[in-house]
Structure 1
Amino acid sequence: MELSQRVRAILSFVQAADAGGFAAAGRVLGISSAAVSKNVAGLEQALGVRLMNRTTRTISLTDEGSVFLRQARVALEALESAGDALAYQRGEASGHVRISTSAAFGRDQLIPALPALQAQHPGLSVEVDFDDRVVDLVRDGYDLAIRGGHISDSALVSRPVCRLNLVLVASPDYLSRAGIPRSPRDLLQHRLISRRFLGGRVSPWNFRTADGSISTLDLDPVTLTFSAPEALAQAASLGLGVTQVGVHHAWPYLRTGKLKVLLLDVHDPGSYEMVIQYPHRALMAPRVRVTVDHLLATFAKDQALHVPPTRLQKYSVE
């Protein structure tokens, strides 16, 4: 098999593995499913090993196919990066960068960072998907993702952006009507606004006890429930009740006096974080590198993402 044919065959194999079928791979590559199948079969013949098991409806990787897929990705990324590297040396990173992030973070932090990125690198095109679900970067074809929460260990590279501390807040108007809660138990007499994640789990409200342990408030008397975190801060600012929300969402309202912090001394801020993640690569494409570096530098200057807990005391109720 000639080198050019081998490269086309490897592309077909990788795309078929990612897309889960020859027809889907063909649509991405702009060729027929029969051509994809022929390319993969030719690659198997050249290698002398079966890479995929086929049925009439599905394909699956053999053990040898899984090993080859990992190496094929590295090889294709190296080819892609080879051309980009020359442009990068001239300070001219170019190409398409696909990003996954949540709707709120994308609107408030990512979009404002894009004008400077494209002014510095006009050859870049950026595609952003706003999705609160955790995507599979490799399978779904993303270059990087910006994620918040409890970040689990994975094969992905994670670059820290900030801690995501939680805070309890309510509007001065609501507190003047309903009274100020002085203990977690007092919250049960208030109108509570909670967040429900897309999977159905409700975000817990945790508090530190005198013996150093953590207790969780029973949220049965919740009045309002939202899936979007930014909606929590907005609803609380309108006097609808008490909510727990990320400091970066509450920050604009705290600074303007529309929200006040509650129970700062006993409320547990959690151990959540925001990170930029991307697949581990032997050669990171310059278009991705400059994007990651720019975003990290921009987010580091975003005051709302780096409010120290001690500063919140200024915005607590008296």
Structure 2
Amino acid sequence: MEPLNYLASFIQSAETGSFSAAARRLGLTPAAVSKNVARLESSLGVRLFQRSTRSLTLTSGGERFLEQVGSPFSSVLEAIDGVAKDDGQPSGVLKVGMAPAFGREYLLPLLDDFLVRNPAVLPDWHFDNRAVDLIGDGYDAAVGGGIPLTQGVIARELLRADVVAVASPAYLQRREVPRHPADLAHHDGIVRRSVATGRAKVWTLRHDSGEEGQAVLRPRVIFDDPEAMAHAAMRHLGVALLPMPHAAPWLHKGLLKRVLPGWRSDAGPVSVYYPSKKLLPAKTRAFVDHVTAHFRRPDVAAWFDSARYP
């Protein structure tokens, strides 16, 4: 299998632009990756990389070779992975990335049944509000919103997430009820800071009638976690603009109430993401199908419908 190891070192080095980064992906040392590439160059009689102390760039011959071997090499690895499975049943470590609150509230309850159906799978779940690098970090799948659809990544939509304004009943009892998004400027705001930009998010709300208005709250507290925002709202600290997955449990229990009923913003889809492969591992396929089937149930879809909570 040495030629395959040489090719793997070459392809990963070309994709990452670094022997060190390729080594992290492959579980090797940078020196081992460099040796594998050198041996491949020697066997081909072609220099594949221009090396310097600061950079690693493909030669014209290296670029042509990468185009020729990249896709076939992936197919060979997938075929080997498929043959290695005795009976084609889902098995092995399943590395999945997800947002902490969404994962705890909506994905953990699915785990029991998933494990009963797939006892040979070992879930390795990573809870993080930041979007993961699905390919670069070796994830089998990820669940969330706003994950870039880079080359080689597929998304299956689970739900559309409306953003709604909410506050505790006690807070609303002592404050004038807003009638328009512009009225929120006079209310204490539980504001969300974007993990990507570090700036406070500003939402444009749209009414069922088609009217639009910008929701600019007077910041009282600023968080980077929607679950923390929901709990702050339940402590009567102000109005929060929350995606429905984070608002629905508390709206259902009456601990939060809608502010500005009929107004909402579309935060985009929550999806399950996975690498695009002709021979998708059985463990990944089982997870994607299990999660998708659950969220497409009518009763589950209704849970996230903002119109259900006037």
TM-score bin, normalised by smaller chain: 0.7 to 0.9
Who is 2:4 aligned against? 7
Using the TM superposition, give the Cα deviation of residue 72 of structure 1 relative to its aligned residue in structure 2, in angstroms: 2.5
Aligned: 1:284 with 2:280: yes
State the Cα deviation string for residues 34-60 of structure 1 (Å, max 9, x = none).
332222222234445443332234423
State the Cα deviation string for residues 90-143 of structure 1 (Å, max 9, x = none).
xx3111211111111122122222222222212111212222222221111111
Structure 1 residues 303 and 177: alpha-carbon distance in aligned structure 2, compared to 1, 3 A threshold? same
Which amino acid letter does the alignment assign opposite residue 241 of structure 1? G
Aligned equivalents of 1:196, 1:213: Cα separation in 2:
26
Structure 1 residues 289 and 49: alpha-carbon distance in aligned structure 2, compared to 1, 3 A threshold? farther
Give the 3-state SS of the residue equivalent to 1:41 in structure 2.
helix
Aligned equivalents of 1:211, 1:306: Cα separation in 2:
23
Who is 2:214 aligned against? 216
Q: What percentage of aligned pairs have identical amino acids?
A: 37
Which amino acid letter does the alignment assign opposite residue 37 of structure 1? S
Using the TM superposition, give the Cα deviation of residue 273 of structure 1 relative to its aligned residue in structure 2, in angstroms: 0.8
Aligned equivalents of 1:41, 1:15: Cα separation in 2:
14
Q: Is the 8 A contact 2:149 2:155 kept in 1?
A: no
* Alignment RMSD (CA, Å): 2.7
Using the TM superposition, give the Cα deviation of residue 211 of structure 1 relative to its aligned residue in structure 2, in angstroms: 8.8
Aligned: 1:255 with 2:256: no
Structure 1 residues 195 and 228: alpha-carbon distance in aligned structure 2, compared to 1, 3 A threshold? same
List alignment gaps of at least 5 residues for structure 1. Answer: 314-318
Give the 3-state SS of the residue equivalent to 2:87 in structure 1.
helix
Using the TM superposition, give the Cα deviation of residue 194 of structure 1 relative to its aligned residue in structure 2, in angstroms: 1.3
Which amino acid letter does the alignment assign opposite residue 174 of structure 1? Y
Using the TM superposition, give the Cα deviation of residue 170 of structure 1 relative to its aligned residue in structure 2, in angstroms: 0.9
Aligned equivalents of 1:107, 1:177: Cα separation in 2:
33
Who is 2:73 aligned against? 72
Length, aligned pairs only: 304
Which amino acid letter does the alignment assign opposite residue 276 of structure 2? H
Q: More deviation in 11-20 or 280-289?
A: 11-20
Aligned equivalents of 2:203, 2:103: Cα separation in 1:
25
2:56 to 51, 54, 59: 59
TM-score (norm 2): 0.86
Who is 2:161 aligned against? 164
Structure 1 residues 74 and 201: alpha-carbon distance in aligned structure 2, compared to 1, 3 A threshold? farther
Aligned: 1:100 with 2:101: no
Q: Is the 8 A contact 2:184 2:216 kept in 1?
A: no
Q: Is the 8 A contact 1:163 1:306 kept in 2?
A: no
Using the TM superposition, give the Cα deviation of residue 152 of structure 1 relative to its aligned residue in structure 2, in angstroms: 5.5
Who is 2:190 aligned against? 193
Structure 1 residues 178 and 291: alpha-carbon distance in aligned structure 2, compared to 1, 3 A threshold? same
